[in-house]
Homo-oligomer: A and B are copies of this chain.
């Protein structure tokens, strides 16, 4: 048993998908129950220099080697744009192939036609990668929250504009300065129109509306407004009023129950709002289900590997739910062929920082005795505070932060310190600096 994958397009995301299939082949087979195989990749120019070149023989310039090729079960459409993507996707479905796509423009524009065809031929079109990169917002709407009336959903769906806005907000750059900088850093395209005018985020919003409300709005029915008219002075006034400015995508029922509102525009949000802290190229979405409450999802909204991660999640879902039916093999229930219950590292071998609070007698030599014991056990002290009376007269709190140390060493040191008559109690809280 083998699930075969063909790529239409081998840009950044295509290369990311090929890389994951190659480097994580064993992991994927362990989880799915059988391997994925990359069979063919359609490109315009097979001789172009590539970031992660595919195995020789995989490149083709003929779409027929992927679309309608009976040896390919899942077609990943990563060309972008409307044509030939639309025709190739429809032909792949007609030929009995499942489709995974990251193409938000295609689905926002031709979604009705494509989803109708997929229903007709009983094939899947999955598109987690089309909205918010690696964040599982499609799955959450389509599966986890099915029994919910979605009262509203809103979020930051474009990393380029969020990066520009973050720079304008935190460093008082003009739009033009922030855009030029983003282009130089590779966060914005040479032609940034689709991002900065809001079209890209609007395409994503259309897809989220379809999943949440069963309504795929026409782009011309949506108010779409980009970030090109924002000025540093507006960010300054926003701060003065206690707001931040974000480019927000919003869909919701009027008053939580009426007709559907869908809009995409810069908005001022209270500075304490969860979305206010989503900066740089990060994306985030809040989905308000009537039963679930507010579900907040955030993470990288774009990029080669995050997007490839979502494409492959969908490819594997197709393999699990559809392709396994064609054989006697079934994927393992928990997503792992061999579930183990050993192999856990004991905490004694863990390296961590520690907050220690010792109740000690207020007399000379105590700190020196304790720090001596810690030193003997390879515990190095980062900060010490000795302060005030405790409830016991003559006893004070001695508080220390340590550098990273082995838990085993620390526990031994504390056992030794507890033996000191000048120590009556030790409290420990681990410090997580690196999460």
Whether the pair B136, A295 counts as a contact (CB closer than 8 A) is yes
Cβ contact within 8 Å between B147 and A27: yes
| A residues 374-408 touching B (CB-CB < 8 Å) | 383, 385, 397, 399, 401
Distance between Cα atoms of A185 and B333 in the complex (Å): 39
Q: A140-B136, A268-B432, A355-B237 are in contact. Are A28 and B146 (CB under 8 A)?
A: yes
Q: How far is the CB of A312 from chain B (nearest CB, A)?
A: 4
Verify B291–A259 contact, CB threshold 8 A: no
Our pick among B221, B338, B342 for the contact of A344 (Cβ within 8 Å) is B221
* Chain A 103-145: CB-based contact to B (< 8 A → 1; otherwise 0): 0000000011001101100101100100000111001111111
Chain A at the B interface: mostly helix, strand, loop or mixed?
mixed
Give the oligomeric copy count.
Answer: 2
Q: How many residues of A contact B (CB 8 A)?
A: 131
Interface string of A139-160 (1 = CB under 8 A from B): 1111111111100101000000
Question: Nearest Cβ distance between residue A417 and chain B, in whole angstroms?
Answer: 17
A215 touching B339, Cβ below 8 Å: yes
**Distance A218 CA – B340 CA, assembled complex (angstroms):** 10
- Taking the complex as formed, is A306 at the interface, i.e. its CB lies under 8 A from any CB of chain B? yes
Chain B residues whose C-beta falls within 8 Å of the C-beta of A218 in the assembled complex: 341-342, 344
Closest 5 CB pairs of A and B: A214-B336, A134-B292, A147-B312, A136-B144, A223-B347
Given known contacts A134-B292, A214-B339, A267-B430, what 11 new A-B pairs fall within 8 Å (CB)? A31-B146, A115-B333, A115-B334, A116-B339, A147-B308, A214-B336, A217-B341, A221-B342, A237-B399, A266-B430, A292-B310
Instruction: List the interface of chain A (C-beta within 8 A of B).
Output: 16, 20, 24, 27-28, 30-32, 111-112, 115-116, 118-119, 122, 124-125, 128, 134-136, 139-149, 152, 154, 210-211, 214-218, 221-223, 229-231, 233-234, 237-238, 240-241, 243, 245, 248, 250, 254, 258-263, 265-270, 273-275, 277, 286, 289-300, 303, 305-306, 308-310, 312-313, 316-317, 321, 325, 330, 332-336, 338-347, 349-350, 355, 357, 383, 385, 397, 399, 401, 427, 429-433, 435
